[in-house]
Structure 1
Amino acid sequence: MSGPRTPAGTRAGSAGAPETSVAPAASEAGPLTVPWGSATGVGSMPGGDARESAKAVTGTFERFPYLAELPARGPGADMIGRTAGLLVEVYAHVEPSGWRISDRPGRDTRRARSWLGEDLDALEEFTQGYEGPLKVQVTGPWTLAAALELKNGEAALSDPGACRDLTASLVEGVGAHLAEVRRRVPGAAPVLQLDEPSLTAVLRGQVRSASGYRTHRAVDRQVVEGALREVLAVVGAGTDAGVTGRAAGIARAGATVVHSCAPDVPFALLRRAGAAAVSFDAGLLTERDDEAIGEAVEGGTKLFAGIVPGTDGPLSDPAGSVMGVRTLWRRLGLNPGTLAESVVLTPVCGLAGASPAYARAAQAHCVRAARSLADNPE
C-alpha cells in the first residue's frame, strides 16, 4: 500500500486502478454480518456418514455451521455432481472423462439428489432451534462450465450459449435449494458460497481442451462478472420470506461468499459481482494482492481466510496460525480492532482428503484461532 489508512476507511491520496478501486456492485444487498470472532468450514468432509458429519460440524461451529459435502460416497457426492443435481432442465451423467451433459435425468442425477436429501435431513436434525448464519456451498458457474462436458466431449466453457444456459439453470436450482434450506432451518440465514477454484484459469485462458493440446479462449471479464452476479443475486431475491429473528438481518445483508483456493484470486472482480465475502488460502497471498484486499475490506467485504491445511499434518498453536492475518492487517494499515469482525477463519480448502480425526482437529483449531483473534486483536 502506498499510504496510511484514514479513520474514515479510505487511503489518503489514493488514485486507484480500475481493477481494484471499485464501488460495491449495484446488485449487492449489503455487507455480510457474522458473529464476532467467527470460524467455519469450507465444504467437504471425509467419510460417508451424513449424520456423523452434521453432528461434527454443528458441534464445532456452533455459531456458523455449514452443510457438509461427503465426496467419498462417489459420483454425485463430489463438488461437480452435487451441483449438477441441483440444475433445472439441465442434466448430467458420469463418463470415464468426467461429468457430461445429458438430455434427461438418469441414475447419476437421482443419486446426487438423494445424497443431498440425506445431508439436508441430517443438518435439519442437528440445527433444531438454531438462529444465525448457515453456509451452503454450490459450484460456481465458471468452474461448472469448465468441468461439465458437452456431448462432443469438450467443456461447456467452449460454447458461450451453453455457458448462459448453465448459469440460468444454476440460478433456478440454487433458488430452490436455498428455499429448501430455509424451510428446514427456519431460524437460519443461508450464506451462499460459490466454489470457483477454476475461475482464475477461466479468466486467463488456461482451461485445457479435451485433447489436452490446446486451451480454451479466456472468457471476457465482464461476461464472467455478469454470470457470477446473476447467481449471487439469488440470495437477495428471496431472503425475507420465511427468515426470522436474528437471521433476518443477516439475510437482508446479502449473505454470499465466493471461494477459491487457487493463487491470484480476483478480489476486485468478485466484489463488483456482489460477493459479500471472499474465501481464499491465506498462505497464497502476496503483496501484490494488498491493494485489492484493502479496497475490499474498506468497502465492507468480509475475508474468509484459510489458515489450516486441508490434509493431515501438524497444527501450530492457534495464536501462531493467525500471525499471517495479523501481518496482513498491519501491512494494510487497518485497525487491528476490526480483525474479528472482518475475518472468518477456515481451513484452506475442503477436508475430504483428510483423516476423520484430523478433520475434526482442524476445524476445532479454526474455532480456537478465531477466539484468539477476537481476544487479542493487536
Structure 2
Amino acid sequence: MSENTLFSFGGATGIGSLPGEDAREAAKTATGSFEDFPFLAELPARGPGADMIGRTAGMLVDLYARLEPSGWRFGDRPGRDTRRARSWLGQDLDALEEFTQGYQGPLKVQAVGPWTLAAALELKNGEAALSDPGACRDLAGSLAEGLRLHLDELRRRVPGARPVLQLDEPSLTAVLRGRIKSASGYRTHRAADRGTVEAVLRDVIGAHPDGPVVVHSCAPEVPFALLRGAGAAGISFDFSLLTERDDDAIGEAVEGGTRLFTGVVPGTDGPLSDPAGSVMGVRTLWRRLGLHPGLLADAVTVTPACGLAGASPDYARRALAHCARAARSLADNPE
C-alpha cells in the first residue's frame, strides 16, 4: 500500500495564489473555504517577492536572489528583495496560524519546484541557471534545505497540521522539451535529460519524508509517469488540457495510488456551472478508463484549474466554495 493511500487528503483545496494584498483576508478565505484541506495563501499582487519565483527564492538556504530588470538573478548576499520576500511569507504564516487554531488535518503549502526555478533564476551572466548543471544541483540542494525549514516552521505554528507540500512546476514540460529560451531570445536551452530531471525532483521531494508531496503544473503535456517515478504522491493539473493520449498515464497513476488534483474550476472570472457539472468530465474519464466509481472520492481532490491571482476577490471566493461543493457531489454521486 502506498504512502498516498495511508494519508487522508481532503476532497477539495486551492492551488495557492489569491487576489488582493490582505494576508488576513486571504488566510480567512483559504481556511474557511476548505474545512478539511486548507492551504497557505499566496498574494502576488503585493509585488516582487510575493510572486512565485521571488517567494521561493526567499526560502533558499545560502543562495540569494535580487530583482533585475530582466528578472530574478543570483546575488552574493541577502538584500532588500530577499528580506521583503521573507517578511511577506512571515506575514502569511502569521495569518494562517491565526485562522488554524486547534486545526488538525492536512494543510497544504506551496513552493516553486527545482526545474521551474532553474528556468527562471538567472546566473550572474544573465543566463538561466538551467544552462549550468552544477548550478541546478546547488539550487536543488538549497531549495530542499529551505523547504525542510519551512515545513518545520509550519508544524511549529500549527501543531495539529499534517503538512502537504506542493511543488509548482509549470515550466517542467518546457525544460524536458528544450523550449526554455536563452537570455538573447534567439535560441533555446537544450532539453534536460529525463533521468536527471527525475533524480533532482526525487531529491527535493525527499525534503518532506514524513508527508506527501504534490507536483502542480497547469501547462499541457504533464509528464505523469516521470512525476510518479520521482515520488510524487499527487499530481495537480488543469483538467481541460488533458487529451486521450494521457489516459494510460492517468490510469496507471490511479491504480498506483497517486492522488489526482483535478483542476476543473476556471481560474479567472466567468460563469460557474452547477457543481455536478464541473466534475462531469472526471466521471466520464473514469468510465473511459474502466475504473471503479467507488474509487473517485479516494483518488481525486477537486481544485481550480490554476492559481486565482488573476481573478476578482468575489470570484475567487465563489470558485473555492464551488470546488468544495463539486467534491461533495463527486463523493455523494460517483456514478
TM-based fold match above 0.5: yes
Alignment RMSD (CA, Å): 1.1
Aligned pair in 2 of structure 1 residues 268, 190: CA closer, same or farther (>3 Å)? Answer: same
The whole-number CA distance in structure 1 between the counterparts of 2:8 and 2:262 is: 14
Kindly report which structure 2 residues correspond to 1:350-365, keeping only aligned pairs within 5 A, or say none: 350-365=307-322
SS of 2:206 mapped into structure 1: helix
Paired residues, what number? 335
Q: 1:14 aligns to what?
A: none
The whole-number CA distance in structure 2 between the counterparts of 1:232 and 1:93 is: 26
Which consecutive aligned stretches of 4+ in structure 1 deviate over 2 angstroms post-superposition?
28-36
Q: Kindly state the Cα deviation for residue 32 of structure 1 after the two structures are TM-superposed.
A: 6.0
- One of 160, 173, 181 as aligned partner of 1:200: 173
Residues 23-44 of structure 1 deviation map (CA, whole Å, 9 limit, x = unaligned): x9xxx855462346x1000010
Q: 1:173 aligns to what?
A: 146
Residues 110-164 of structure 1 deviation map (CA, whole Å, 9 limit, x = unaligned): 0000000000000000000101000000000000000000111110000001000
1:138 partnered with 2:111: yes
Q: 2:231 aligns to what?
A: 274
> TM-score with structure 2 length normalisation?
0.98
1:108 partnered with 2:81: yes
Q: 2:46 aligns to what?
A: 73
1:263 partnered with 2:215: no
The whole-number CA distance in structure 2 between the counterparts of 1:190 and 1:95 is: 33
The whole-number CA distance in structure 2 between the counterparts of 1:157 and 1:56 is: 36
SS of 1:234 mapped into structure 2: coil
Q: 1:300 aligns to what?
A: 257
- One of 178, 181, 194 as aligned partner of 1:221: 194
The whole-number CA distance in structure 2 between the counterparts of 1:30 and 1:191 is: 11
Structure 1 vs Structure 2: percent identity of aligned residues?
77
Residues 174-206 of structure 1 deviation map (CA, whole Å, 9 limit, x = unaligned): 000000000000100110000000000000000
Q: Assess if the C-alpha contact under 8 Å between 2:260 and 2:301 holds in 1.
A: yes
Q: Which amino acid letter does the alignment assign opposite residue 252 of structure 2?
A: E
Q: Which amino acid letter does the alignment assign opposite residue 45 of structure 1?
A: L
Q: Assess if the C-alpha contact under 8 Å between 1:282 and 1:307 holds in 2.
A: yes
List runs of 5+ in structure 1 lacking aligned partners.
1-23, 240-250
SS of 2:208 mapped into structure 1: helix
Q: 1:20 aligns to what?
A: none
Q: 2:69 aligns to what?
A: 96
Q: 2:290 aligns to what?
A: 333
SS of 1:189 mapped into structure 2: strand
> TM-score with structure 1 length normalisation?
0.87
Q: Which amino acid letter does the alignment assign opposite residue 108 of structure 2?
A: K
The whole-number CA distance in structure 1 between the counterparts of 2:35 and 2:13 is: 9
Q: Assess if the C-alpha contact under 8 Å between 1:32 and 1:276 holds in 2.
A: no
The whole-number CA distance in structure 2 between the counterparts of 1:291 and 1:59 is: 36
Q: Kindly state the Cα deviation for residue 233 of structure 1 after the two structures are TM-superposed.
A: 1.0
Quick one: higher RCO (CA 8 Å, sep 6+), 1 or 2? 1
1:60 partnered with 2:33: yes
